[in-house]
Amino acid sequence: MKVVVVGAGFAGVAAAWAARRAGATVTVVDGGPGASSLYCGGVDGLRAGVPEELLSALGLRLAKDTHIATREGVVRTTDGRDSALLDLAPLAGKHVGVVDVPRDDWDGPLLARSFAASDWARSTGTRFELVPLPLLEKGHERRVSSYDFAAGFERPERPAWLAEVLKAKAGPNAWLFGPWLGLTRSLAAELSRATGVPVGEVTSPPGGAAGARFELRRDALLASLAVERVTGRVTEVLTTGGDVTVRLEGGVVVVGGALVVASGGFVGGGLLLSGALSGADPAGFELAIRGLPPVLLRGELAQPVSSLFGVDLAARGRGLLEHVGLPVAHDGRVSASSAVFAAGDVVGPVPPSVGQALESGLRAGAAAAGTA
Ligand SMILES: Cc1cc2nc3c(=O)[nH]c(=O)nc-3n(C[C@H](O)[C@H](O)[C@H](O)COP(=O)(O)OP(=O)(O)OC[C@H]3O[C@@H](n4cnc5c(N)ncnc54)[C@H](O)[C@@H]3O)c2cc1C
């Protein structure tokens, strides 16, 4: 019983986890980073729930009405978060220290003012106060990427040193950092324990710590589940007899009893806007992988479209891009096929989110294992 999963974002890893739990052997084929590697650390779009074991392996914590601070200076609600992000909800009415560090990607004074001026802070009487901290050891740390800066905090002596720095600045009921609190270690939790007050981050930029943590935890989880990994881009899917054959660039072939397509949306590379804008060919949306049913756009066939220049996003709104995808049944089954399932951003017409990627991945992985 073998399930092939195409894609190693949140949907692919959830599908692989569920299929393994259901007793299948699993091969994950993945063409490189997708939206999950770029996400900011917020978890939106949850409906049903995700097993604690999977959440904890991915370093996620779910709670309705979580409040996170974004690096754009906004306080917003989510359904959950990378556990390094500070949940502001329990801090309503308290005093949050915003670290002031002279990094080029961090405007502490502006962020502290912006959080303090948010509707949430005003309505709950929460204070955000700027607190200068001597976090830069060397001049170049001002400019290194937030990923490298986060990695620098993992050096063995840094967490204990940082805890002492925070303890010496008694006052705030919590500390809000940039997205720098480590990649492999749970420094936010370590510092919270050491200081006795919650310590956490704002959201990450694309390519920052949250996405890097996702990749590291995913790789560890898939290895612990003995999931086979194949790197490369799938070009075509063939269903013959009881088997599903997946063809990769370069001629590699992977065969299984069932397939979960978790190849992402426009960011992950699962969906494409194809056709010449010159009008030589009809333009429209399509899957990057051949051999699957056509994608739909809010129930309409997405390719070809009537306009010579493709879908008129100016007239119909860019939000339309969130409604392109493969139509599937509730368990992720792709219409007209018994052994092909889909999950995550490649599915339409559901807006993309980590919550929907995880939940649809779990359903598709379990159903695929039952078919394989
Ligand atoms: C900048 C940014 C910020 C975001 N912030 C949030 C947020 O705050 N909250 C939230 O809920 N959501 C957020 N999202 C959305 C969320 O990240 C995505 O909805 C989710 O990660 C999608 O997961 P996925 O597994 O479906 O796709 P992806 O993570 O895109 O994974 C697709 C996978 O498929 C693989 N693939 C694609 N084509 C092929 C092929 N032909 N062959 C082999 N492999 C292939 C890719 O290599 C990749 O591994 C954000 C997204 C971005 C880009």
pLDDT tens digits, one per residue of 152-165: 999 889 999 999 99
> 72 near 155, Cβ under 8 Å?
no
Using a 6 Å cutoff on CB, does residue 345 contact ligand 1? yes
Query: How far is C-alpha 47 from the chain's CA centre?
Result: 16
> 330 near 248, Cβ under 8 Å?
no
For the chain, give the secondary structure using H, E and C: CEEEEECCCHHHHHHHHHHHHCCCEEEEEECCCCHHHCCCCEECCCCCCCCHHHHHHCCEEEEEEEEEECCCCCEEEEEEEECCECCCHHHCCCEEEEEECCCCCCCHHHHHHHHHCCHHHHHHCCEEEEEECCCCCCHHHHCCCHHHHHHHCCCCCHHHHHHHHHHCCCCCCEEEECCCCCCCCCHHHHHHHHHCCCEEECCCCCCCHHHHHHHHHHHHHHHHCCCEEEECCEEEEEEECCEEEEEECCCCEEEECEEEECCCCCCCCCEEEECCCCCCCCCEEEECCECCCCCEECCEECCCCCCCCCCCHHHHCHHHHHHEEECECCCCEECCCCCEEECHHHECCCCCCHHHHHHHHHHHHHHHHHHC
**176: nearest Cα among 256, 66, 69, 328:** 69
Please state the atom number of ligand 1 nearest to the C-alpha of residue 203. 8
Pick the CATH number of 2-39+213-371 from 3.40.50.10880, 3.50.50.60, 3.40.50.720, 3.40.50.10490: 3.50.50.60
Question: What is the CB neighbour count within 10 angstroms for residue 105?
Answer: 17
Question: What is the CB neighbour count within 10 angstroms for residue 139?
Answer: 8
Arithmetic mean of pLDDT, 314-341? 83
Dist. CA 141–CA 104, nearest whole Å: 9
Alpha carbon of 293 to ligand 1 centroid (Å) = 21
The pLDDT score that the predictor gives to residue 227 is 98
Name the residue ranges covered by the structural domains of the chain. Answer: 2-39+213-371, 65-203
**Interaxial angle between packed helices 10-21 and 354-371, expressed in degrees from 0 to 180 and rounded to the nearest 10:** 40
Alpha carbon of 168 to ligand 1 centroid (Å) = 41
The pLDDT score that the predictor gives to residue 312 is 67
What pLDDT band is residue 190 in, cutting at 50, 70 and 90?
A: very high
Using a 6 Å cutoff on CB, does residue 8 contact ligand 1? yes
What pLDDT band is residue 311 in, cutting at 50, 70 and 90?
A: low
Q: How far from each other are the two terminal CA atoms of the chain, in whole angstroms?
A: 5
The pLDDT score that the predictor gives to residue 310 is 59
**What backbone torsions phi and psi does residue 117 show, to the nearest 5 degrees?**
-90, 0
The pLDDT score that the predictor gives to residue 281 is 61
Assign domain 65-203 to its CATH architecture: 3-Layer(aba) Sandwich (3.40)
Per residue in 97-117, pLDDT (tens digit) is 999 999 999 999 999 999 999
The residues with which 199 forms a beta bridge, in sequence order, are 175
CB crowding 293-319: b at 16 or more within 10 Å, else e: eebbbeeeebbbbeeeebbeeeeeeee
Using a 6 Å cutoff on CB, does residue 10 contact ligand 1? yes
Using a 6 Å cutoff on CB, does residue 42 contact ligand 1? yes
Question: What is the CB neighbour count within 10 angstroms for residue 216?
Answer: 13
Farthest-apart Cα atoms in the chain, separation: 69
Please state the atom number of ligand 1 nearest to the C-alpha of residue 34. 30
Is it the case that residue 315 has pLDDT exceeding 80?
no
Arithmetic mean of pLDDT, 84-88? 98
Per residue in 31-47, pLDDT (tens digit) is 999 999 999 999 999 99
Per residue in 54-74, pLDDT (tens digit) is 999 999 999 999 999 999 999
Alpha carbon of 351 to ligand 1 centroid (Å) = 12
Dist. CA 302–CA 291, nearest whole Å: 16
Is it the case that residue 308 has pLDDT exceeding 90?
no
- Which residue is closest in CA terms to ligand 1's atom 18? 353
> Six-digit token pair at 253?
């072939």
Q: Out of 275-279, 321-325, 337-341, which region has the weakest mean confidence (pLDDT)?
A: 275-279
Using a 6 Å cutoff on CB, does residue 355 contact ligand 1? yes
> 18 near 361, Cβ under 8 Å?
yes
Using a 6 Å cutoff on CB, does residue 205 contact ligand 1? no
Per residue in 250-269, pLDDT (tens digit) is 999 999 999 999 999 999 99
